[in-house]
Amino acid sequence: MSAEPQAPKSLADPDALAARRAMVGAPHIAPIRALGARISAERAAPVPAPDPLDGGVAARMLLLLETPGPAVLRTGFVTRDSANGTAANLFRFLAEARIARADTLIWNAVPWLIHAAGALNRAPRRAEVAAGALYLAPLLDLLPRLAVAVLAGRFAGEAAPTLAALRPDLPVIRVPHPSPTYVCTSPEVPARIRRGLAEAAEILDRETA
């Protein structure tokens, strides 16, 4: 894998985006891309690929967001490097927690694009969240090293019972969604995100020791 970007929104640079796309065939993300292709076929909607700079099937931390936003098709990746506020916040929070990219997989509770072309962002519907939960089992099957799951936002948090049933010993940490809409509402919101990621980092450190 290439060196980690040192600043958020790096994929706003067309050359950086082209370089990232050139890595899309990397073997550590191939099984997850195959799952994404299956989901895309079954749901008749695009599913962005995992970031090849992240851990892929070697990830020890699953970071579950809610659903891809309408702008995801510009990059085609689920990534902290997108040129939007949510990704920029996520980049900074993960960097502060000193969680290595190689330890992470960023995914969505509803992994396919739910927005019609040209539509504004919207929250997933209950039926979409329930349908997305059906794909957690095959995803977890691809993550043999998984040590902790971080669920960001209300809809991602609804995956907690499914994760508990699938992997009862897996620590699950809930944090607010890193969207600027939520982060700016109260100082307690970023504080909760930082506490949750610090707890996840401690778990990863214990697993390494």
Q: Is residue 36 part of a domain?
A: yes
pLDDT at 35: 98
Mean pLDDT (the chain, rounded): 94
Q: How far apart are CA 40 and CA 171, in angstroms?
A: 29
Domain that holds residue 68: 30-207
Q: Is residue 40 part of a domain?
A: yes
Q: Which structure tokens are listed for 71?
A: 């702008």
The model's pLDDT over 136-189, given as tens digits with 9 standing for 90+, comes to 999 999 999 999 999 999 999 999 999 999 999 999 999 999 999 889 888 999
Q: Is residue 79 part of a domain?
A: yes
The CATH number of the domain holding residue 91 is 3.40.470.10
Strand partners, 119: none
Mean pLDDT in residue range 72-81: 92
Residues composing the chain: 209
pLDDT at 69: 84
pTM, two decimals, is 0.94
Q: How far apart are CA 194 and CA 96, in angstroms?
A: 8
- HEC string of 136-165 equals HHHHHHCCCCCCEEEEECHHHHCCHHHHHH
Q: Is residue 176 part of a domain?
A: yes
pLDDT at 47: 96
Closest CA to 196 of 105, 82, 96: 96
pLDDT band at 75 (very low <50, low <70, confident <90, very high): very high
Mean pLDDT in residue range 52-80: 94
Q: Is residue 6 part of a domain?
A: no
Q: Which structure tokens are listed for 17?
A: 């985006």
Distance of alpha carbon 95 from the chain centroid: 15
Q: Is residue 5 part of a domain?
A: no
What total of structural domains would you count in the chain?
1
The model's pLDDT over 108-139, given as tens digits with 9 standing for 90+, comes to 999 999 987 667 778 889 999 999 999 999 99
Q: Is residue 186 part of a domain?
A: yes
pLDDT over 90 for what percent of the chain?
84
pLDDT above 70: residue 2: no
pLDDT at 118: 67
Q: Is residue 198 part of a domain?
A: yes
Mean pLDDT in residue range 33-39: 98
